[in-house]
Amino acid sequence: MGLALAQELACEHNLVLTSSQPWRDEDPWKKQLSSQTQIRTLHWDASDPALVSQMMADMEHLGAEGIQFQSAILVAGIFPEQPFGSWTAPMLQEIFSTNLAFPMLAAQAMAPHLEDQGALQILLDTAIHRPLSKRLPYSASKSGLAALVPGLARLLAPRVRVVGHALGVVLPDEGSDPTHLAELNLLKRNGTPKDVLRALRYAANSPYLTGEVLTLDGGRRWA
């Protein structure tokens, strides 16, 4: 989803993208993404023990260039099936590290670099309303992140706003049946990256909005 969002946003905005993988052969795809705007890349890996200092150094570097952000969109998350009975400490550590600790640390690093009235936007999951039985660790990590939204909003107000987006199915997991998944919500279709983008733009352009989780799931939680 990060790529799909970046492709749409790159036409209008300068972007700073992060990945847990080292960026290779950047020029061709950067040109493909946008010829009018600037794309910068950072290497941030949730499992890197030096993550916090890396984040702080990168943000300081960008700040020294006068770069400020209108929005920070926290996309990172893994979505493994982890049925009860199969849980192990390293498995839970990995999912909480990627889905919860990483966005928390990214929020901490990015908040001082947002413009006044800028928005920290966090991608959550409608599983915060209706936990997924085979993915309880995933659901719990997203619920933890949802709890962060009003907490961070209070901490960062009035300068920075914080908004969460509890998404339903947008890009179905490999091996899942998109038609079946679409049947599970009230609107009988899966979401699209454009749906997500509309919500991200709404939140970015709504200066009186903070501390809220917007649910964008085709009514899945009411079905």
Ligand X SMILES: NC(=O)c1ccc[n+]([C@@H]2O[C@H](COP(=O)([O-])OP(=O)(O)OC[C@H]3O[C@@H](n4cnc5c(N)ncnc54)[C@H](OP(=O)(O)O)[C@@H]3O)[C@@H](O)[C@H]2O)c1
In the range 154-173, which residues lie near ligand X by CB under 6 A? Answer: 167, 169-171
Contact 121, 165 (CB under 8 A): yes
- Residues with Cβ within 8 Å of residue 17, at least 6 apart in sequence: 2, 6, 39, 40, 41, 42
User: Taking the C-alpha atoms of 8, 166, 141 and 163 in order, what is their torsion angle to the nearest 10 degrees?
Assistant: 80
By beta-carbon proximity to ligand X, the closer residue of 118 and 193 is 193
Kindly write out the interface string for residues 22-61 of this chain, putting x where it contacts ligand X by CB under 6 A and - elsewhere.
Answer: ----------------------xxxx--------------
Query: Smallest Cα–Cα separation from 170: which of 16, 13, 5?
Result: 5
Of 6, 10, 76, 213, the one binding ligand X by CB under 6 A: 76
**Is residue 8 a contact residue for ligand X (CB under 6 A)?**
no
Which residue sits closest to ligand X, CB atoms considered?
Answer: 77
Among 7, 14, 20, 206, binds ligand X (CB under 6 A): 20
Q: Per-residue contact track with ligand X, 173 to 202, x per CB under 6 A?
A: ------------------------------
Judged by CB under 6 A, how many residues of this single chain contact ligand X?
Answer: 22
Q: Six-digit token pair at 182?
A: 């679409």
| Cβ proximity to ligand X, 145 vs 156, nearer residue | 145
Say which amino acid occupies 108.
Q
Our finding on whether 72 is near ligand X (CB under 6 A) is no
Q: How far is the CB of 121 from ligand X (least distance, A)?
A: 11
**Would you count residue 69 as binding ligand X (CB under 6 A)?**
no
- Residue 21 phi/psi, 5-degree rounding, is -95, 145
Q: What is the 3-state secondary structure (H, E, C) of 12-26?
A: CCCEEEEECCCCCCH
Among 73, 102, 137, 162, binds ligand X (CB under 6 A): 102
The reply on whether position 78 binds ligand X by CB under 6 A is yes
Count, residues in the chain: 223
Whole-angstrom CA distances from 163 to 51, 98, 187, 219 are 24, 19, 24, 19
Residues forming contacts to ligand X in the complex (CB under 6 A) are 1-2, 19-21, 44-47, 75-79, 98, 102, 123, 125, 167, 169-171
